[in-house]
């Protein structure tokens, strides 16, 4: 009987260590992805926390890290973010009906040229649709392949390619008009 208890403790410790390793490896990439999707760091933290809660609920003691874990994590983050976007959009429409809220712009940074370009690119993401922004961030920020992006977003691979093509064209045209020689 004592051996069964010891074995259970070992499995629990191994499970916990595996989950902690997954959190260490994927927390920052998931936060960056969710923050860019939601344009809100606090909501992004909520999304990523929800992803890891779901992971803990589903993780079996004998489970190992698989190649599909990354896709699953980003898929869950995507779904959580989309749910939050929809809820926030509904709240926004409700608030707009009752009163107009002034838009608050952040202070302009007069830093280095690289910082300005980075800010310009991030600001330019606003011209993309939500779906285009998702595939661009997964491709450029996370380095995912078309197949991985398709698995995360639930779109066909060819659709991902077309969306990326259109998004890059939009961004290129916008940035060409904004940059100073």
**CATH number of domain containing 97:** 1.10.1740
> 144-159: per-residue pLDDT in tens?
888 889 999 999 989 9
Shared domain check, 76 and 5: yes
Q: Which of these three, 55, 84, 101, is where a domain ends?
A: 101
> 18-62: per-residue pLDDT in tens?
889 899 999 999 999 999 998 889 999 999 999 999 998 887 766
Of the candidates 79, 175, 93, the one whose C-alpha atom is nearest the C-alpha of residue 134 is: 79
Task: Give percent above pLDDT 70 in the chain.
Answer: 77
Q: How many CA atoms lie within 13 A of 91 on its CB side?
A: 7
Note down the domain range covering 95: 1-101
Q: How many domains does the chain have?
A: 2
> 109-128: per-residue pLDDT in tens?
334 666 776 677 777 888 88
Shared domain check, 166 and 125: yes
């Amino acid at each position: 009987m004592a051996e069964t208890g010891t074995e259970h403790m070992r499995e629990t410790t191994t499970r916990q260590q595996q989950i902690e390793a997954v959190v260490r490896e994927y927390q920052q990439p998931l936060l960056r992805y969710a923050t860019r999707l939601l344009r809100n760091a606090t909501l992004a933290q909520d999304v990523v926390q929800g992803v890891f809660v779901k992971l803990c609920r589903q993780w079996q003691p004998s489970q190992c890290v698989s190649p599909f874990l990354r896709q699953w994590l980003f898929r869950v983050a995507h779904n959580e973010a989309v749910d939050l976007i929809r809820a926030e959009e509904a709240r926004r429409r409700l608030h707009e009906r009752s009163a107009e809220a002034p838009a608050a712009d952040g202070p302009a940074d007069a830093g280095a040229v690289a910082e300005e370009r980075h800010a310009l690119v991030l600001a330019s993401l606003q011209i993309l649709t939500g779906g285009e922004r998702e595939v661009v961030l997964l491709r450029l920020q996370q380095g995912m392949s078309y197949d991985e992006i398709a698995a995360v977003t639930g779109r066909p691979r060819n659709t991902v390619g077309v969306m990326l093509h259109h998004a890059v064209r939009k961004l290129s045209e916008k940035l060409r008009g904004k940059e100073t020689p």
